[in-house]
Amino acid sequence: MDKPTQKLMFSSKTDEWETPQEMFDKLNQRYKFTLDPCATAHSAKCPKYYTKEDNGLSKSWANQSVFINPPYSNIKEWVAKAHQEATQNGATVVMLIPSRTDTKYWHEYIMEGADKIYFVKGRLKFGNGNQIKKNAAPFPSAIIVFGEQNLIGYTSGPKIYSMDRSHGRL
């Protein structure tokens, strides 16, 4: 990999931070995912998936168990969509996102509407197979769960947990 590509891959500007398989497998044991709405044919985590060309944001996720590691260029729209599909369409949505707790969307959608936040201990190494990145990500990560308990309109805020990189309490 040349230097400019390397620089891009380790900044949060790239949209291709592939979920570590171990972490996905652990979450999948519990949530039995049926849809990955932001993927490529190569990186899809579920047999049912949408690519950039399909535009997963424009599709219904009704009643699906959804896993999302969104493109980092527009996380806010994916968080808003996850919140909407969970509160209005019966979806359960689990998101792997950078832990950017100062953003407006974090407070508006996650603190107000998520069921759970798992803060990941340490930094993830994204990628799979021979594409695993040598260095850990330059940002902390969190797993956000919407719609697990179907608690529409509740106001107590999400439950917060600590999660090991490969096997946290779920």
Ligand X SMILES: C[S@@+](CC[C@H](N)C(=O)[O-])C[C@H]1O[C@@H](n2cnc3c(N)ncnc32)[C@H](O)[C@@H]1O
Q: What are the residues binding ligand X (CB under 6 A)?
A: 15-19, 36-40, 43, 45, 50-52, 54-57, 69, 71
Order of strands across the sheet that contains 65-68: 65-68, 92-98, 141-146, 116-120, 159-163
Residue 108 in contact with residue 61, Cβ under 8 Å? no
Inter-CA distances, 48 with 4, 21, 36, 66, 117, Å? 33, 17, 6, 10, 25
Residue 36 in contact with residue 94, Cβ under 8 Å? no
- Min separation Cβ 39 and ligand X, Å: 4
Nearer to ligand X, 57 or 170 (CB): 57
- Min separation Cβ 44 and ligand X, Å: 6
- Min separation Cβ 107 and ligand X, Å: 23
Nearer to ligand X, 12 or 160 (CB): 12
Judged by DSSP in three states, 160 sits in: strand
Nearer to ligand X, 56 or 113 (CB): 56
25: tokens are: 């497998």
- Min separation Cβ 162 and ligand X, Å: 22
Nearer to ligand X, 16 or 148 (CB): 16
